[in-house]
């Protein structure tokens, strides 16, 4: 009999390098494969499964909505879409929401906003600045915006007008901007790029620069948003973390209103596994995308919106953002301990909350896996120890557990990671 993997290879387009596991079901932070092996899931569907697997209340909400209404299109109104939009606006600030089905689509809306805003100037601002090592999705606009060559290879001609500069470098921003610049797009914490956080000073200077030069400041929060860092949006957490001596104010919460992007894209954890994307646009700019300028047939269907509203309700009720912050600190401390024991193998860890990366020293991947980078090899070894992680670049492994992960589960994951590190070649 053919295996699932053989059938997948003959039936599915080969765009993914997959690990050799076929999953059948999950519960909370745990996943089970078709051979009944158990794994602790710190891959989280790549920062998607915000409430883990098979959350009973989420499943109940899904079932109730399925019985009522799944889809009617955006020719009409539905209550779940209105309610979710109101909730997201309440969490971010005065603005308007566009719903789509993925992160790339949420970014597409950011990029169309940049274009239509830029074209409203007599000098036609047609340039968008993004960051080296950024990742903005796999559509043509997404790969054009992305600051990594590997996603673009073979797809010329790309969308024009994108320039990539070093992250956290305000001088590069100033040098590269011109009267033609309509927008700057950043991730609060670069995910695919290896868990690189924006520096608080950079965010504040960037906000100021964009204000002074009529440049939109656009946030790709697809991976770093949605409570994962401990705040709804990563910039709030980054500015909260700002060392006191660097601020003129006592309370960092006073800083937050000073810093709000002009638009924010969201997806991944927003749907907890159900496909949904959303783009928030501040009330100062939302009028640029009026009737007929953009759309999505599925976008904001009542089922997707009900799922997302329920997730937010559970996160708020059960204080899972605080949990994400605290468990993130525990995870980071545990990783730091391992770094002390293995300075030859582990370089350090970084990130905020439950968006964490552990950086590996480079090593020669042994036979027969020479074709994969050290990060993927480490994930493969971790899988054999019952721990799921996600590679980011060649030398970082990501820890992206569900927001409700328990202290015991962090300990368990650390123990399995420790075993994995012991097995790595020097």
Ligand X SMILES: *Cc1c(COP(=O)(O)O)cnc(C)c1O
Q: Counting contacts by CB under 6 A, is residue 223 touching ligand X? A: yes
Paired tokens of 20: 């050799």
Nearest approach in angstroms of CB 229 to ligand X is 13
Among 102, 177, 234, 376, binds ligand X (CB under 6 A): 102
Paired tokens of 370: 């020479």
Paired tokens of 425: 């070649």
Contact 280, 219 (CB under 8 A): no
Among 43, 133, 267, 352, binds ligand X (CB under 6 A): 267
Number of residues that make up the chain? 426
- Residue 144-183 contact track with ligand X, rule CB under 6 A, x = bound: ----------------------------------------
* Ordered DSSP codes for 357-414: EEEEPP-PPPTT-TTS-HHHHHHHHHHHTTEE-EEETTTEEEE---TT--HHHHHHHH
Contact 267, 278 (CB under 8 A): yes
Q: Counting contacts by CB under 6 A, is residue 229 touching ligand X? A: no
Contact 304, 275 (CB under 8 A): yes
Q: Counting contacts by CB under 6 A, is residue 189 touching ligand X? A: no
Q: Counting contacts by CB under 6 A, is residue 43 touching ligand X? A: no
Q: Counting contacts by CB under 6 A, is residue 196 touching ligand X? A: no
| Crossing angle between the packed helical segments 407-423 and 374-384, to the nearest 10 degrees | 120
CA 169 from centre of chain: 22
Query: What is the spatial distance between Cα 189 and Cα 196, in angstroms, rounded to a whole number?
Result: 5
Span from 103-111, 251-259, 304-312, 317-325 in contact with ligand X (CB under 6 A): 103-111
Q: Counting contacts by CB under 6 A, is residue 386 touching ligand X? A: no
Give the nearer residue to ligand X in terms of CB position, either 197 or 223: 223
Span from 27-35, 102-110, 336-344, 409-417 in contact with ligand X (CB under 6 A): 102-110
Q: Counting contacts by CB under 6 A, is residue 234 touching ligand X? A: no
DSSP state of 101: S
Q: Counting contacts by CB under 6 A, is residue 136 touching ligand X? A: yes
Q: Counting contacts by CB under 6 A, is residue 304 touching ligand X? A: no
Query: What is the spatial distance between Cα 222 and Cα 108, in angstroms, rounded to a whole number?
Result: 12
**Chain positions contacting ligand X, by CB under 6 A:** 102-104, 107, 135-137, 187, 191-192, 220, 222-223, 267-268
């Amino acid at each position: 009999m053919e295996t699932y993997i053989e059938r997948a290879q003959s039936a599915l387009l080969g765009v993914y390098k997959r690990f050799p596991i076929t999953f059948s079901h999950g519960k909370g932070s745990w996943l089970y494969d078709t051979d009944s092996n158990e794994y602790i899931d710190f891959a989280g569907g790549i920062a998607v499964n915000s409430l883990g697997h098979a959350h009973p209340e989420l499943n109940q909400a899904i079932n109730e909505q399925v019985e009522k209404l799944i889809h009617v299109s955006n020719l009409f109104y539905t209550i779940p879409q209105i309610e979710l939009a109101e909730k997201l606006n309440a969490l971010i600030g005065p603005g308007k929401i566009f719903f789509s089905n993925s992160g790339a689509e949420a970014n597409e809306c950011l990029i169309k906003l940049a274009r239509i805003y830029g074209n409203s100037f007599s000098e036609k601002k047609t340039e968008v600045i993004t960051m080296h090592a950024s990742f903005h999705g796999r559509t043509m606009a997404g790969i054009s915006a992305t600051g990594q060559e590997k996603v673009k290879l073979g797809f010329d001609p790309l969308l024009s007008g994108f320039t990539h500069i070093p992250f956290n470098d305000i001088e590069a921003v100033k040098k590269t901007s011109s009267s033609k610049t309509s927008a700057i797009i950043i991730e609060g914490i670069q995910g695919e790029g290896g868990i690189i956080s924006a520096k608080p000073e950079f965010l504040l200077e960037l906000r100021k620069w964009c204000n002074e030069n009529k440049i939109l400041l656009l946030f790709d929060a697809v991976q770093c948003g949605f409570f994962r860092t401990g705040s709804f949006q990563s910039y709030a957490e980054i500015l909260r973390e700002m060392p006191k001596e660097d601020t003129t104010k006592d309370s960092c919460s006073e800083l937050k209103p000073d810093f709000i992007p002009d638009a924010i894209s969201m997806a991944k954890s927003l749907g907890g596994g159900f496909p949904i994307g959303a783009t928030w646009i501040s009330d100062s700019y939302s009028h640029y995308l009026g009737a007929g300028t953009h759309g999505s047939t599925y976008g904001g269907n009542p089922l997707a919106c009900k799922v997302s509203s329920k997730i937010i309700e559970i996160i708020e009720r059960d204080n899972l953002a605080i949990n994400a912050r605290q468990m993130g600190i525990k995870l980071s401390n545990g990783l730091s301990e391992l770094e002390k024991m293995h300075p030859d193998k582990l370089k350090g860890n970084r990130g905020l909350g439950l968006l964490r990366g552990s950086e590996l020293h480079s090593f020669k991947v042994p036979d027969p896996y020479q074709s994969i980078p050290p990060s993927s090899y480490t994930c493969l070894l971790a899988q054999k120890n019952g721990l799921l992680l996600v590679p980011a670049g060649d030398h970082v492994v990501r820890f992206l557990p569900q927001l409700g992960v328990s202290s015991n589960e962090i300990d368990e994951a650390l123990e399995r990671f420790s075993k994995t590190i012991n097995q790595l070649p020097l």
